[in-house]
Amino acid sequence: MFGFLNVYKPQGKTSHDVVAILRRVTKVKQIGHTGTLDPLAEGVLPICIGKATRLIEYLKDDKAYIGTIQLGKSTTTYDIEGEAVNVSDKIVTKEEIEKALNGFRGDIEQLPPIYSAIKVNGKKLYDYARNGQEVEIKPRRVNISELKILNYNEDNRQLEIYISCSKGTYIRSVANDLGEELGTYGHLIKLVRVQAGMFKINESVKLDELSSKEQVETNLISPIDYLDYPKYELTEKEFEKISHGMSIKCIKNIPDGIVVLTANQILSAVGEKCSNDIKCLKVFI
């Protein structure tokens, strides 16, 4: 079995839970996901099956989310599962929120939540937090390419936002930091990932619809469709060389860099073009 799956991860399941379920269903051990989602979150979770796990590094890693923020209270985890830290009765307007969001667009420095899986000195941050240990958390540079208000209910102070961002961006931190910027505090109460690279939510399949090996095979996606690089169709002689991991001369006008090598429109290898040569990086024949 070889290919990608665009799985809709349900709330309450971890990304590792999804992988474990698919391993049981398919009897395939070589299965991986391309981006962790917290149990609270739901939505798009790209899955790689079989040798397709070797393609994870070539998949686009930008993300898009719809998040719901409850203003008026911050929590230890920056989301609904944490304990209350600060509360405020302050009511803010949509105009004030729009103005505050300007500081969150583009390249920004973001401080990850203490309750996260980021490792410091080989230990995950949430392990420090659970043990009551203090640890220095360094801000990370992330990019938020799009951030807009989808809905704001001033009566219950709930804000729904759409956010398109780079890998490693914590929406929980956006919720917490936005609340502080507004002087009213805030935490995340719902999160749906609507896109991960080229995987979109309207094309995803629910986990309970993958309860048999046949259902998984039916929903497998050809890696070629989701590898956003130039494609190079091999001749018979080139295919023979590639099958032995040998380089070939490039006879097509394509830019230097990663190139997807195909035979009869089926993935054969991933290579790298430099000048007039294509060197094999990973072979799938």
Residue 22 reports pLDDT greater than 80: yes
**132 falls in which pLDDT band (50, 70, 90)?**
low
The pLDDT score that the predictor gives to residue 134 is: 61
Do 86 and 189 belong together in one domain?
A: yes
Residue 33 and residue 135 in one domain = no
**Do 189 and 68 sit in the same domain of this protein?**
yes
The total domain count for the chain is 3
Torsion angles phi and psi, residue 182, rounded to 5: -85, -10
Q: What is the pLDDT of residue 130?
A: 59
Burial class (CB in 10 A: 0-12, 13-18, 19+), 138: exposed
Describe the crossing of helices 94-101 and 171-182 by its angle, rounded to 10 degrees.
120
Question: What is the C-alpha to C-alpha distance for residues 273 and 249, in angstroms, rounded to an integer?
Answer: 9
Q: Do 249 and 203 have their domain in common? A: no
87 lies in the same domain as 131: yes
pLDDT digits (tens, 9 = 90+) for 40-67: 899 999 999 999 999 999 999 999 999 9
pLDDT of residue 111: 83
Does residue 118 sit in the same domain as residue 192? yes
- Residue reference for tokens 């474990």: 20
Q: Note whether 172 and 73 are same-domain residues.
A: yes
* pLDDT band, residue 37 (cuts 50/70/90): confident
Write a three-state SS string for the chain. CCEEEEEEECCCCCHHHHHHHHHHHHCCCCEEECCCCCCCCEEEEEEEEHHHHHHHHHCCCCEEEEEEEEECEEECCCECCCCEEEECCCCCCHHHHHHHHHHHCEEEEECCCCCCCCEECCEEHHHHHHCCCCCCCCCEEEEEEEEEEEEEECCCCEEEEEEEECCCCCHHHHHHHHHHHHCCCEEEEEEEEEEECCEEHHHCEEHHHCCCHHHHHHCCECHHHHCCCCEEECCHHHHHHHHCCCCEECCCCCCCEEEEEEECCEEEEEEEEECCEEEEEEECC
What the block records as the tokens of 273 is: 């073009």
Q: How far apart are CA 272 and CA 125, in angstroms?
A: 37
Q: Residue 202: what are its φ and ψ, rounded to 5°? A: -75, -10
Q: What is the pLDDT of residues 224-251, one digit of tens each?
A: 989 999 999 999 999 999 999 999 998 8
Does residue 121 sit in the same domain as residue 188?
A: yes
Q: Return mean pLDDT, the chain.
A: 92
Q: Is the pLDDT of residue 273 over 80?
A: yes
**Together in a domain, 73 and 23:** no
Contact call for residues 198 and 55 (beta carbons, < 8 A) = no
136-167 confidence digits (pLDDT tens): 667 889 999 999 999 999 999 999 999 999 99
CATH number, position 183? 3.30.2350.10
Q: State yes or no: is 17 an active-site residue.
A: no
* Same domain membership, residue 246 and residue 215: no
Question: Which residue type is seen at 54?
Answer: R
Examine the domain organization and report whether 258 and 165 are in the same domain: no
Query: What's the CATH number where 269 sits?
Result: 2.30.130.10
Confidence category of residue 36, pLDDT binned at 50, 70, 90: confident
Catalytic residue among 17, 38, 225, 228: 38
Q: Are 254 and 268 in the same domain?
A: yes
State residue 161's pLDDT score.
Answer: 98
The pLDDT confidence band at residue 123, using thresholds 50, 70 and 90, is low
Structural domain boundaries enclosing 257: 229-283
Mean pLDDT of the region 252-274: 93
Tokens of 134: 């203090």
